[in-house]
């Protein structure tokens, strides 16, 4: 039996090697590449975190790096000039997504907007998002939701303050995530995700459940590198895991649709149009064009809010607050700017944000140093092209090392230093911000860039602005906040931020009057 097993494995490896040689004929003028092994290629070089591994390899072999991961060809770019070439001259060539196992399951067999190939179907989905959610009018339509949820957080924090000179301890990661989830859930389904007064154990279970469904720790796997492995039993475990998460996610999304339908039927005030949410838009489309908007398409459109819009926004807020606590002089400058343009007699409003360039510069500088998506979502070349004078074969996966581009010394002075003023100075020279158009990529680039950047920045800016306006913030101890990176597809802080705060004395009259007397903000 042992001899038979050894022979079977030997034959399998030999056939795999032959298949590898047949399907991976050497292309001409490929970009620089590290030494590789037969069959596995450069897989042995992949170590977490990937953005740092790619950065190290690019320092040795150049900013346009070619890797062979099993049967997958991968191009990793790490310079603004390569970014410009890929997403200007070759933007359409790289406008599609690779066929990975995650896209098969989480992307509803590559029909969801995040995984669909470039074409009419994708353009139609993108148009829905652009018009119904992320246009200027739509962002304004949902402004009351953002303000109300931030006010709920402020009330919650003020309610915990017992008076005197003491500070209260705040676990910022959960606070920000709950806030963003409430905003997104109300935009999508017209209801809160969670209440701040809920039992902490219950909230943790809800959040962990949502993270498992929408931020699973899976990306590319051996089945993507070696498609032949999908035919063998030892790969089925991975496929089953992805399928299980997808079924759980799909059932959750469908329940949101069913619940919204029931609420609309029971809405006796007939005010559904004024309270229109994203599911309402999709249901109307489904009624008029049922063949074009079946259940999978609808659920895929809803799901993108939770996969792309929640964890990233909450993590950005946590990174910004951590950076501010480590730079109290910068925090003081932000507070002075808010005092100057807003004052203490009312809450900062979205109309005030254009008057707060230093706050925006702090957020931008934090996203530059600590991008929550350090690697771009994968693109794939639909035809042969050239990048930097090198040949790129059709079907090559493109990854942009955003983390490395943001630290390119040719694009940024003192790239490892936290200097928000650099964005102020650049805007004085270039009002449209084109000086860093290919070196600052927090929302991606090209046709597949994130359409929600306006709404995301509005939310992040308003949350941080109001929290700084209303509270004094400090570190839990004397030591600086640890800015180490944690593991994951996004880039979390290794140790979740715990800060301390108390209401600012100058805001106490306003906060007390609106909380105690009326229970509502003006």
Query: Residues within the annotated binding site for heme?
Result: 450
**Computed over its alpha carbons, how large is the radius of gyration of the chain?**
25
Residue 129 near residue 445, CB atoms below 8 Å: no
Annotated binding-site residues read: 450
Residue 390 near residue 347, CB atoms below 8 Å: no
Six-digit token pair at 212? 């498992």
Taking the C-alpha atoms of residue 133 and residue 15, their distance in angstroms, rounded to an integer, is: 51
- The set of residues, in sequence order, having a beta carbon less than 8 Å from that of 8 and lying 6+ positions away, is none
Taking the C-alpha atoms of residue 280 and residue 285, their distance in angstroms, rounded to an integer, is: 9
Taking the C-alpha atoms of residue 461 and residue 320, their distance in angstroms, rounded to an integer, is: 10
Residue 458 near residue 146, CB atoms below 8 Å: yes
Name which of 307, 313, 284 is nearest 183 in CA terms. Answer: 313
Taking the C-alpha atoms of residue 440 and residue 369, their distance in angstroms, rounded to an integer, is: 10
DSSP strand pairing (397-400 vs 72-77): parallel
Report cis status (omega within 30 of 0) of the bond before 49. Answer: yes
Taking the C-alpha atoms of residue 338 and residue 473, their distance in angstroms, rounded to an integer, is: 15
Instruction: State how far the alpha carbon of 186 is from the alpha carbons of 191, 260, 277, in Å.
Output: 5, 11, 7
> Which residues partner with 37 through β-bridges?
41
What is the phi/psi pair of residue 398, to 5°?
A: -110, 125
Sign of CA dihedral 104, 108, 110, 112: negative
| Contacts for 210-213: CB closer than 8 Å, 24+ residues apart | 210/181, 210/306, 211/311, 212/245, 212/248, 213/245, 213/248, 213/249, 213/252, 213/306
Q: Is 495 helix (H, G, I), strand (E, B) or coil?
A: coil
Name which of 383, 387, 376 is nearest 447 in CA terms. Answer: 376
Taking the C-alpha atoms of residue 344 and residue 468, their distance in angstroms, rounded to an integer, is: 12
């Amino acid at each position: 039996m042992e001899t038979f097993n050894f022979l079977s494995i030997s034959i399998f490896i030999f056939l795999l090697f032959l298949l590898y040689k047949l399907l991976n004929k050497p292309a001409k003028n490929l970009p620089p590449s590290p030494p590789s092994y037969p069959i596995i290629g450069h897989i042995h070089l992949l170590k977490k975190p990937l953005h740092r591994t790619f950065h190290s390899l690019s320092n040795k072999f150049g900013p346009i790096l070619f890797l062979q991961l099993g049967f997958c060809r991968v191009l990793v770019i790490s310079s603004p000039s390569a970014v410009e070439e890929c997403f200007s001259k070759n933007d359409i060539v790289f406008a599609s997504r690779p066929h990975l196992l995650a896209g098969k399951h989480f992307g509803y067999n590559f029909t969801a907007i995040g995984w669909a190939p470039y074409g009419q179907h994708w353009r139609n989905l993108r148009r829905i998002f652009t018009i119904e959610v992320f246009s200027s009018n739509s962002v304004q339509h949902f402004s009351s939701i953002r303000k109300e949820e931030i006010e709920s957080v402020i009330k919650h924090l003020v309610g915990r303050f017992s008076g005197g000179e003491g500070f209260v301890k705040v676990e910022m990661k959960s606070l920000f995530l709950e806030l963003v989830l409430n905003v997104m859930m109300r935009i999508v389904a017209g209801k809160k995700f969670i209440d701040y007064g809920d039992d902490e154990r219950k909230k943790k279970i809800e959040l962990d459940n949502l993270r498992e469904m929408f931020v699973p720790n899976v990306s590319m796997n051996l089945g993507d590198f070696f498609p032949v492995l999908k035919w063998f039993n030892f790969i089925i475990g991975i496929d089953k895991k992805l399928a299980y998460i997808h079924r759980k996610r799909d059932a959750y999304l469908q329940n949101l649709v069913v619940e919204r339908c029931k609420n609309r039927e029971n809405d006796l005030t007939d005010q559904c149009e004024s309270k229109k949410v994203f599911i309402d838009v999709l249901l109307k489309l489904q009624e008029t064009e049922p063949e074009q908007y079946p259940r999978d398409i609808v659920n895929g459109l809803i799901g993108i809010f939770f996969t792309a819009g929640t964890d990233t926004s909450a993590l950005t807020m946590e990174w910004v607050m951590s950076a501010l606590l480590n730079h109290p002089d910068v925090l003081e400058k932000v507070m002075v700017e808010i005092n100057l343009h807003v004052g203490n007699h009312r809450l900062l409003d979205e109309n005030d944000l254009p008057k707060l360039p230093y706050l925006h510069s702090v957020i931008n500088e934090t996203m530059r140093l600590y991008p929550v998506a350090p690697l771009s979502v994968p693109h794939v070349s639909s035809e042969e092209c050239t990048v930097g004078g090198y040949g790129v074969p059709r079907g090559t996966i493109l990854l942009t090392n955003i983390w490395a581009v943001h630290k390119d010394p040719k694009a940024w002075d003192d790239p490892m230093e936290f200097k928000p003023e650099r964005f102020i100075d650049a805007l004085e020279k270039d009002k449209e911000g084109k000086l860093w158009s290919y070196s600052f990529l927090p929302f991606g680039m090209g046709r597949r860039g994130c359409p929600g950047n306006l709404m995301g920045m509005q939310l992040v800016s308003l949350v941080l602005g109001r929290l700084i306006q209303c509270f004094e913030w400090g570190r839990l101890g004397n030591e600086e906040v640890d800015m180490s990176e944690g593991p994951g597809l996004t880039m979390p802080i290794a140790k979740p931020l715990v800060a301390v705060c108390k209401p600012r004395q100058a805001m106490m009259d306003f906060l007390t009057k609106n909380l105690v007397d009326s229970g509502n903000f003006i």
